[in-house]
Amino acid sequence: MPTPIKMPQLGETVVEGTVSRWLKQPGDRVERQEIVLEISTDKIDTEIPSPVAGTLLQITATEGQTVRVGTVIGYIGAPGEVVSGEQSPVSNHQSSAASAPIASSQSPLSTRQSPIAKPTGRAFVSPVVARVAAEYKLDLDQINGTGLNGRVTKKDVEGYLAEMGDKKVEIEEIAAPTRSPISDLQPLTAMRRAIAEHMERSVRTSPHVMSLYEADMTAVVRHREAHKAGYAAKGIDLTFTPYFVAAVAEALRANPQVNSSFSTEGLLLHQRIHIGVAVAVKDGLLVPVIQDADERNLAGLSRAVNDLAERARANKLSPDELQGGTFTVTNHGVSGSLLGTPIINQPQAGILGIGKISKRAVVRSGGHPLLPSADDAIVIRPLCYLSFSFDHRVLNGAEADGFVGRVVEVLESWK
């Protein structure tokens, strides 16, 4: 009897996954634990091994298709073995981001033809079909798909338009975006698409306001120089990021409203402090979360930051490690950026951007804090900008400034 390949539960909070790529095709021989496909969940691509040895008999979830956890996405069995009709259907819960905005009960063509029951696998829509459907305001639920597992193809759309009495169009002409001969259209990766959707939603959701502070990092730099060798002896690479995470955790304890989320019923104050740390990875960005960051010392935070960053770049994070953050920091200064205006990581109330630490000349007052004085001195100090983007529905300027001011205070008085 064929063995099903099911969409795995890749984390406690994960309820569905998207088939990114099949590494094997029907008829290919596979060994037990050999990687047969890649699944994308919340910007992470996870390799899925075969549960048994045999031949890949059938694929029931095509690339780009999103299905619920536990849904059968393929079958493995003996060469020539047949998958019965009772085994092959894919769950009706499957969906596709590409097709979601296209189907509409208000389509002008929807009243001309009675709805057709969705065949298996039709949730996948190619970019060409998606653009044509949007151009002609087509309801794809009304079109009988002849592609794999009922997928609606370009020819299906052409035939439907012809039946409706519309002039047949050359799909290639209306589907291809206008671009110069030297341009190259690069398809969006699952990670880039997820980032784009999340950032757009954040800007639409929260009224962003930014507060900018400058921190004197002299105390932190001295501490790091004095202790990084000792940390290295313990296998810890002591970077600056853990210092900022520790300062943010302390400031969140002192300003609990910053560690909250907005809802129409009120502010949801989070009792635990889970800080996400943005990590640049190939083709995108991931934000792994340090659970209970306020309960860890500098060494513990250093180990956590290094471990999460390394596994993020190696694509070895679990989906749960990207969930549950109550606040986010992004140290864009590691790449040389002096100042940034980060976008809030929903549904959090704020995000702190950390600029490059660099030596700058500053005036140290010897008398009046503002009036010129003979006792004033120009000194060189390692400084960095801290840019705090916050949700104005949750925080006012004074509350936001109180939070960032506490972060600066912790950094400048580090012991």
Instruction: Identify whether the C-beta of residue 65 lies closer than 8 Å to the C-beta of residue 94.
Output: yes
Where do runs of H (alpha helix) occur along 81-217? 127-136, 154-163, 171-175, 190-205
Q: Is 274 a catalytic residue?
A: no
H runs (alpha helix) in 85-136: 127-136
Vertex 357, ends 241 and 254: CA angle to 5°?
50
Q: Which of 218, 264, 239, 155 is nearest to 359 (CA)?
A: 218
User: Domain ranges in the chain?
Assistant: 3-77, 96-180, 206-412
Residue carrying the six token digits 């259209």: 185
| Per-position pLDDT tens, the chain of length 415 | 899 999 888 776 677 888 888 999 999 999 988 989 988 876 677 888 888 999 999 999 988 888 888 999 999 999 888 887 655 544 444 443 333 333 333 333 333 333 333 334 556 665 557 667 776 778 888 888 876 667 777 777 878 887 776 444 455 455 555 555 677 888 777 788 888 888 999 999 999 999 999 999 999 999 999 999 999 999 999 999 999 999 999 999 999 999 999 999 999 999 999 999 999 998 889 999 999 999 999 999 999 999 999 999 998 888 889 989 999 999 999 999 999 999 999 999 999 999 999 999 999 998 898 999 999 999 999 999 999 999 999 999 999 999 999 999 999 999 8
Handedness of CA 216, 220, 221, 222 (dihedral sign): positive
Please pick, among 198, 223, 227, 392, the residue that the annotation labels catalytic. Answer: 392
Residue 79 neighbours by CB under 8 Å, 6+ apart? 55
Q: What is the dihedral of CA 76, 78, 82, 88, to 10 degrees?
A: -10
pTM above 0.85, yes or no: no
Q: How far apart (Å, rounded) are the C-alpha atoms in residues 292 and 272?
A: 6
Specify the pLDDT at position 45: 76
Radius of gyration (C-alpha) of the chain in whole angstroms: 27
User: Looking at the domain covering 3-77, what would its CATH class be?
Assistant: mainly beta
Q: In this structure, are residues 129 and 153 in contact, taking their beta carbons and an 8 Å threshold?
A: yes
- Could you give the CA distance from residue 400 to residue 352 in angstroms, rounded to a whole number? 11
The dihedral over CA atoms of 206, 212, 216, 222, expressed in degrees to the nearest 10, equals: 30
Nearest of 359, 362, 361 to residue 382 by alpha carbon: 359
* Unique residue bearing structure tokens 């057709």: 116
| Cβ proximity of 385 and 360 under 8 Å | no
Q: Which two tokens stand for residue 383?
A: 């400084």
How distant, in Å, are the alpha carbons of 64, 197, 284, 306, 361 from that of 188? 12, 12, 11, 29, 44
State how far the alpha carbon of 33 is from the alpha carbons of 1, 17, 246, 339, in Å. Answer: 19, 20, 41, 47
Give me the residues paired with residue 360 across strands. Answer: 381
CATH topology of domain 206-412: Chloramphenicol Acetyltransferase (3.30.559)
Q: Quote the Cα angle for 387-310-271, to 5°.
A: 55
